[in-house]
Amino acid sequence: MIKQTLKKAPEATEAGGKSQVVALVLAILVGGLGIHRFYLGYTGIGIVQLLTLGGCGIWALIDLIRIITGDLKPKGGEYAKKL
């Protein structure tokens, strides 16, 4: 049983256990502040979005679409939970 748990753990934590649903909710609620980018591990881009208010909303809208389609993934790889 322990071996099975150890085998599953690296897959689930490959991207830090990030959820696509959480990223989507963050992009919808506070997309203009770039909080979803911080969540996904893109700190540098998150700071730029924070300072530009998500590129006046345009960048936040593009990120929202990219999260829905699965194109914007966590920095570590794939989502642990998808839509």
7 falls in which pLDDT band (50, 70, 90)? low
Q: What is the 3-state composition of the chain as percent helix, strand, coil, each rounded to the nearest 5?
A: 70, 0, 30
In tens, the pLDDT along 58-82 reads: 999 999 999 999 999 999 889 988 8
Report domain extents, the chain.
2-69
High-pLDDT (> 70) share of the chain, %: 82
Q: How far apart are CA 81 and CA 50, in angstroms?
A: 26
Q: What is the pTM of this model?
A: 0.77
Contacts of 68 (CB under 8 A, 6+ apart): 24, 83
